[in-house]
Structure 1
Amino acid sequence: MSDLKRTPLYDLHIALGAKMVPFAGYEMPVQYPMGVMKEHLQCRAAAGLFDVSHMGQVVLRAADPERAKAALERLIPQDVLGLGEGRQRYGFFTNDAGGIEDDLMFANRGDHLFVVVNAACKDADVARLRAALEPEVTVKLLENRALLAVQGPKAEAVLAEHHPMVAEMRFMDVATVPIAGAECWVSRSGYTGEDGYEISVPLAAAKDVAQALLAHEDVEPIGLGARDSLRLEAGLCLYGHDIDATTSPVEAGLTWAIHTVRRVGGDREGGFPGAGRVLPEITEGAARKRVGLLPEGRAPMRDGTVLFASAEADTPVGTVTSGGFGPTLGAPVAMGYVDAAHAGVGTALFGEVRGKRLPVSVAKLPFVAAGFKR
């Protein structure tokens, strides 16, 4: 662990009794004394605080903000030019083969774009942005801000005690909000399927803001273990597992994030890396699809489990990419890719676990309905 980075809240995690593990080059809390199961249910029933300061926070700035938007649009298949001030969108970098290099969030903060990328990919993402956009656009990786998330059905009430305006924010709104004396950049978004907020905090104020939020009776600290089970129940992709540089957005079921203006016949059709693969797949369909999977019994099917059409079949039809126990459902859940012919909801398949073929059925995603405030 000696070569790993630490977030500004490392000492607080230790004081709270966190079990620390290596993750994306950082020492991160995987769980607290409450335990993964209770942390998960806490977030579904009330509110949880996550330290996500390992993520990359990037500012894109140009003399003309519209030029920064147009420049980013060359790298991602989303509608950046049409993003209004004070709004945020989900997106992803694609490569020339139509695969996903990373997924991200990008927000229009008026005079600049604010982009949040995955921790394991942030160095490559910043290099990609600089190579493609500079000197037209200044690309700055912020080293002076932490990133927190408050998630759960009571997140609004918790944060509104610090400033009432957060209650008026819609899903994917962004605003500058004072919290515990610090100027914070707040978005109404998250990675749990629940309502909640992500909060970019000045580094010097990170511990004070975190402690102020944890002081609320409805908030508990939540680690990576519950973060993973929450996002899995919500049907959300984990980069490096459910999506990667070989996976197209269409295969991944992320076509909804490619806006009409960037599709065939749109005003700004294509113009992003891999459009030659992605656009035909939108029209004609992909050979495989990401699906939800419900194993029978209590044994989870972990990532890498090979899927077959029958207990006797020799040829695989797919693979599990994420799997574990879903505390909200009280049963194992998984996601994976199967060929299009076996992707229909209710299709019976078999996963090979320790040499045995165990039954699993294709299920609709998400497993737990989203609680976002529309």
Structure 2
Amino acid sequence: MKEKVILAYSGGLDTSVIIPWLKENYDYDVIAVAVNVGQTEDFKAIEEKAYLTGASKFYLVDKVHEFVEEYIFPTLKAGAIYENKYLLGTSMARPVIGKALVEVAHIEGAKYIAHGATGKGNDQVRFELAIKALDPSLKIIAPWRIWDIKSREEEIEYLEKNGITLPFHKKSPYSRDENLFHVSHEGFDLECPSKEPNYENVLQWVKTLEVANEKSEYINIEFVKGVPVAINGEKMSGVEIIKQLNKIGGNHGIGVLDMVENRLVGMKSRGVYETPGGTILFFAHEELERLCLDKDTYQEKIKLSHDFSKLVYNGQWFTTLRKAITAFVDVTQEFVTGEVKLKLYKGNIILAGTTSPFTLYSEEYSTFEKDSVYNQKDAEGFINLFGLPIKIEALLRKNF
């Protein structure tokens, strides 16, 4: 009986070549696994392609709701943004895909998992760290780090040599990754940071500012314990909320960023990301936190959010540290409940009001008008004590 290898399968050229390559070089039964994390795909066509290229079995694993509830929302609550810009759309999806691969490996009794990530990127690390964390006994095969194939043309030649002819559509010049949360674009003219992206050619979800809606739009987002639960008073699932906000944000030209980022493997890379719904959610969530969290907790959370973002970006989702920071975050979110009103217009998100039953903002104390709760004379003693170290240092320096 042949050994089995689980292949993370997308139906693209790379993974289609990997199936016959694995059979030729390892003589394993190849089980193709496509993981649905909200990407727009014809999964039936992907299944047919897997069998045509030699897969012995095909799995379609639906992880959309799990992706939202167990990966996107914990990252949203943490306020984690890599290098203060990237909302981690691809990074969050990789551990849930890795988990699906391990689950199928256990069902099939397979000892090997293969993926099509290149040796230059972050995804190889993210997939493999997830696999190592969930089942360190599984062995990993990464063809792009092994084979001699160097180009798309050579891949097609390899398929033809193996008697496989498939109608691969004309390839976009950009390398794209799509899931429910975002779509990323790399390569081609984007590899030159001095060039402005041709957004008309690049963007898939978001309208350019020139054609975005001419009329502004107000929306209300309701949160319960840091999790969005409704838009404009209508209760929705997390998946529905992200889909709706992707549509709304895209129509207003919201959620496009052009970024040169520091990859885990050492080089810099430049990409364009579309995250319309996520951009709106992160903005709204932060504004609600400003209302509901005390100063020390809010500022400590900001520091930990940077650590959280690096863990996610670096593929360290299934680590004790990530879980520990999530536990801290969950405590901070106990009272992050309320509504955020936003005005959307031509790429802009403008705060139009926040309300919460747990607000720490007190008009009675903060007013510039006459009040009966705050004795301004108390400030003098506070300033004297708070400024005492500064005063002592200044007095001592006068002698030098």
TM-score band, normalised by the shorter chain? under 0.3
Higher share in strand: 1
| TM-score where L is the length of structure 2 | 0.26
Higher share in helix: 2
